[in-house]
Amino acid sequence: MSSRDLEEQVALQGQGSYMYKGQNHYPLPVVDLKGRLEHNSDPDVRTALVQQLREAGKVGSFCVVNHGIEEKLLMEFKQVCRQFFALPLEEKINCSKTPIPGCYRPLGYQGQFHNRTQKSFVIQRREVFEIQGSPSSYNHDLVPWPELLLSFRGCLEAFAKEMQGLTKWMLEALAEGLGLGKDAFLKQIGGDEFHQQVNVCSYPMMEKQPKEIINPSTIAFGAHSDLTIMNLVLEDDVGGAQVYHDDRWFDVKPIPEGVTLFLGDPMECMSNGMYHAMIHRVVAPENNSRFSCVSTVEPIDKERTVIHPVPELVESLGTPAKYVPYNFLGRFMSIAGKRFEPEIMTKRFMVTDAAVLDSLRDFSVRDGVFHIGSRPLGSFTEGF
């Protein structure tokens, strides 16, 4: 990278050099889900949990503890992932991302990278190993699993399955929290099943950065709100995630036994702004490499999924819908490559056009083109 490129990249991706110091923590809500499994059939316990989750959802990011995923599995999972990233680079490269029939994205290993997009550099200062947890109709045998670490596959698959259960429960509870039927969000993203991508990540500490990408910025994964429905993050005790609030960045205190949720833009839109998609990023850890695992939720039929405020909610709130319905894939395609830009700080999908408000419920996808009323807004391949 030339020094001009570096300057440009630093300007675009963050406010200068910033390393995770573990100070200045943001008070993210912590919700204890103990009653979720133990008192499954007790309506009072559920109501209390659902209310806590509603309040947490208003913040947009929160941690859940006693989530029901066994500690033994979590420990084995973290350990095997650490072992994977410690493998010789050649072995990891042998597992490089591969397109797999029936999968949305290539699966496998990807090292750190930086790409120039139309307007900015996208830096991903993390190594990942990606699998697809669901729908599981594809053949897991085709994932380029590491030959030197045979326990990796079983452990990842077991963890992905557990996260799937927690995710579904959470989507239902968050809908109930707004006085809606359990399936209000699930219905919009395609029913009982969803697409789950599981990204196991390792963020190398500063000293270990490969020489060619050392630069004055310490941003490891740039500022963004999630385009996915929501992300569930498991991490170790190193820290590095930050959330943006009142024009400032705050550190997120790691809770290694917990799972941290980031509600994505679609949740903000579906909940008509009752829930919030918090802007967050990851900065490079100072003294240790950081492990995290991000389990994402996306609709199965991305081309045909229109995200919109839940009509029953808009009705019950008695306030107008605040968000324009949008095609999930269209927005994903139009933003994904350039979302680490400063403009992400301004929300771009809130309703500003009164005429759009009037026709909010009247949307459709016809021949791949998204319409509000009779007004075509563009196809999912063009974005809009």
Ligand X SMILES: O=C(O)CCC(=O)C(=O)O
Contact positions vs ligand X (CB under 6 A): 201, 221, 226, 231, 233, 235, 241, 280, 282, 292, 294
Supply the minimum distance, in Å, between the C-beta of residue 226 and ligand X: 5
Question: What residues does 132 pair with on adjacent strands?
Answer: 197
By a kind-dependent CB cut-off of 5 to 8 A, residue 241 interacts, out of Fe ion, ligand X, none, with ligand X
Question: What residues does 134 pair with on adjacent strands?
Answer: 196
Tokens of 259: 């799972």
By a kind-dependent CB cut-off of 5 to 8 A, residue 130 interacts, out of Fe ion, ligand X, none, with none
By a kind-dependent CB cut-off of 5 to 8 A, residue 36 interacts, out of Fe ion, ligand X, none, with none
Positive or negative: CA dihedral 295, 300, 304, 307: negative
Which residue's CB is nearer to Fe ion, number 162 or number 226? 226
By a kind-dependent CB cut-off of 5 to 8 A, residue 233 interacts, out of ligand X, Fe ion, none, with ligand X
Whole-angstrom Cα distance, residue 372 to residue 366? 11
Residue number, nearest CB to Fe ion = 226
Which residue's CB is nearer to Fe ion, number 52 or number 124? 124
By a kind-dependent CB cut-off of 5 to 8 A, residue 201 interacts, out of ligand X, Fe ion, none, with ligand X
> Which residues are at the interface with Fe ion (CB under 5 A)?
226
Residue number, nearest CB to ligand X = 292
Query: Which phi and psi (to 5°) does residue 124 adopt?
Result: -125, 95
By a kind-dependent CB cut-off of 5 to 8 A, residue 162 interacts, out of ligand X, Fe ion, none, with none
Whole-angstrom Cα distance, residue 316 to residue 203? 44
Which residue's CB is nearer to Fe ion, number 127 or number 226? 226
Which residue's CB is nearer to ligand X, number 231 or number 334? 231
DSSP of 270-284: HTTTSS----EEEE-
Tokens of 276: 């919030």
Instruction: Give the contacts of 138 (CB within 8 A, at least 6 positions apart).
Output: 100, 101, 102, 103, 132
Supply the minimum distance, in Å, between the C-beta of residue 235 and Fe ion: 12
Measured at the alpha carbon of residue 278, what is the angle toward residues 291 and 236, in degrees to the nearest 5? 15
Which residue's CB is nearer to ligand X, number 159 or number 370? 159
What is the CB neighbour count within 10 angstroms for residue 82? 14
Supply the minimum distance, in Å, between the C-beta of residue 358 and ligand X: 35
Supply the minimum distance, in Å, between the C-beta of residue 195 and ligand X: 15
DSSP class of residue 252?
P
Supply the minimum distance, in Å, between the C-beta of residue 47 and ligand X: 31
Supply the minimum distance, in Å, between the C-beta of residue 282 and ligand X: 5
Supply the minimum distance, in Å, between the C-beta of residue 90 and Fe ion: 30
User: How far, in Å, are 52, 88, 272 from residue 309 at the CA level?
Assistant: 22, 48, 5
Supply the minimum distance, in Å, between the C-beta of residue 219 and ligand X: 12
Which residue's CB is nearer to ligand X, number 134 or number 296? 296
**Crossing angle between the packed helical segments 151-177 and 43-59, to the nearest 10 degrees:** 90
Q: Which strand ranges, in their side-by-side order, compose the sheet holding 280-283?
A: 113-116, 121-124, 219-224, 280-283, 241-245, 248-251
By a kind-dependent CB cut-off of 5 to 8 A, residue 292 interacts, out of Fe ion, ligand X, none, with ligand X
Question: Tokens 């994205």 — which residue?
Answer: 105
Question: Tokens 């650490």 — which residue?
Answer: 82
Which residue's CB is nearer to ligand X, number 49 or number 269? 269
Which residue's CB is nearer to Fe ion, number 223 or number 313? 223
Whole-angstrom Cα distance, residue 77 to residue 66? 17
By a kind-dependent CB cut-off of 5 to 8 A, residue 221 interacts, out of ligand X, Fe ion, none, with ligand X
